[in-house]
Amino acid sequence: MVSSKTSTLLITGTAHGLVHLLMLALPYITAKLLEVTAVPPGQEGLVVLLLNTPAYFIFGLSAIPAGILADKIAPTRVIALGLSLTVASGIALFFLWPLGLMAIALLFILYSFGAGLYHPAGTSWVSNVFTKNRGKALGRHGIGGSIGQAASPIISAAILSTPAWPLIFPVLAAAGLFVSFICIRSHAVKPQQEAKAQPSSSMGSGFFSAMSVVVFGLMSVALITRGMFYRGTVTALPIYLNRELETLLVLAGILGTLIYVGGAIGQEVGGRLTDQMGWKIILIYSCVLSSVSLLLLSLPYSPSLIEDMRLIAAILLFGFSFFAAQAASNTMVAQLATERNRGTVFGYSFFARFGFGSFGILIVSSTQLVYGTWTLGFLLLALLTLIAAVCVPFINPRKEERQEKDGTD
């Protein structure tokens, strides 16, 4: 019989993977729309801004109500609700995309709002179930997301490269419907019930129960800058490869998948090292490695085997370093929250990461509009990684880290 903890990881890992598959498809759909829509040369950055920045901001913003709901009702219901909204949006996109970019932008927003409900529910669920070896569990949960992200560029680019490319919308909707059904059929203990079962907990339930306002500010800066350099990079990369380097969209998808191949390894390594070395060390070193990868991406490209290897190495290193920090980042948030408000705090953290993080798209798109290249944007994003690294050492819970004991995991 599958244990409840194993079941939790299987369900959340699957849903996590699907959510990232759904969201990572958007830049590839945008790249296709640039091919089939009359866009003046040099104005690609404007279309990327219009279609992606609002969508990804809403993806992050929806984490706030999702976090509040996750503290009040079963997280499976929150996940199923979000995926249902995304399914409806995907079906609408199939029929309405010919209406133009504004219609697509509005449906992208609804699509992203639904997908954004996942993270606070899924991550707080895993954090509450795994009080021991939490970093390892969050790393495994993150691997589910990385698998979905790795699959998304290949699946998206393959479908979008065919004459029947609009079928990508019902295909994504069908996947969302399947996982939503699994969640509805699953059972999760409500957070209030867990709290009642553990009356000895002395931790409060207010938002700042375990952190000061200063620590909250530092945590916010670290989360936002990490979100910006990630979102800016993964949104610009397929369009940079396809439009500036003139690679086929399928090849851009294959190269984009390398981020998540490196990321899956990073999730496992980072999760284990977080439990052994602490989340601060992993976050700092991961941010420095991410900076190096973005510096490599920012170098001018000229066709040659050495340059191709440099590009591949930069993409792999970016994926490994960013995702190696995911378990550490989520462990940091879990320790700055209490069990009773963890969904709410995670909701804010994902809003900072994904909502404000969407403005990383503004950085790379603006540099493309002004200078005609995406590479300067990668250089500016590299600076953001160092800002995050500087903030991390000063992020400390107000109260001592809780040594929670829950038997064996």
> pLDDT value at position 160?
93
HSE-CB at 210 with a 13 A cutoff on CA atoms is 24
Domains by residue range for the chain, with CATH: 7-190+204-394 (1.20.1250.20)
CA distance 345 to 339: 10
Are 78 and 67 a contacting pair, CB within 8 Å?
A: no
> pLDDT value at position 349?
87
Model-level pTM? 0.75
Buried b (16+ CB within 10 A) or exposed e, 313-336: ebbbbbbbbbbbbbbbbbbbbbbb
Residues 6+ apart with CB under 8 A from 248: 161, 242
Q: Residue 23 corresponds to which amino acid?
A: M
Token pair belonging to 260: 């998540």
CA distance 24 to 151: 9
Residue 164 has phi, psi (to 5 degrees) of -95, 35
CA 266 from chain centre, in angstroms, equals 14
CA distance 65 to 42: 38
Q: Please tell me the total number of residues recorded for the chain in this structure.
A: 409
Token pair belonging to 268: 């496992």
**Residues 324/328/329/334 CA torsion (nearest 10 deg):** 150
> pLDDT value at position 230?
93
CB atoms within 10 A of CB 1: 5
Alpha-carbon Rg for the chain in angstroms: 20
Are 116 and 350 a contacting pair, CB within 8 Å?
A: yes
Q: What percent of the residues of the chain are helix, what percent strand, and what percent coil, each to the nearest 5? A: 80, 0, 20
Per-residue pLDDT of the chain (409 residues; tens, 9 = 90+): 445 777 778 888 888 888 989 998 998 899 898 888 877 767 778 888 889 989 999 998 998 888 888 778 777 788 888 888 999 999 999 999 998 889 999 999 999 999 989 888 888 778 777 777 777 787 788 788 878 888 888 899 899 999 999 999 999 888 888 877 777 666 544 444 444 444 444 444 455 555 778 888 999 999 999 999 999 998 899 889 988 888 888 888 888 889 988 988 898 898 889 888 889 999 999 999 999 999 999 998 888 899 999 999 999 999 999 999 988 998 888 788 776 777 778 788 888 988 898 899 999 989 888 888 889 999 999 999 999 999 999 988 755 444 443 333 3
If you search the block for the tokens 């490695």, which residue do you land on? 289
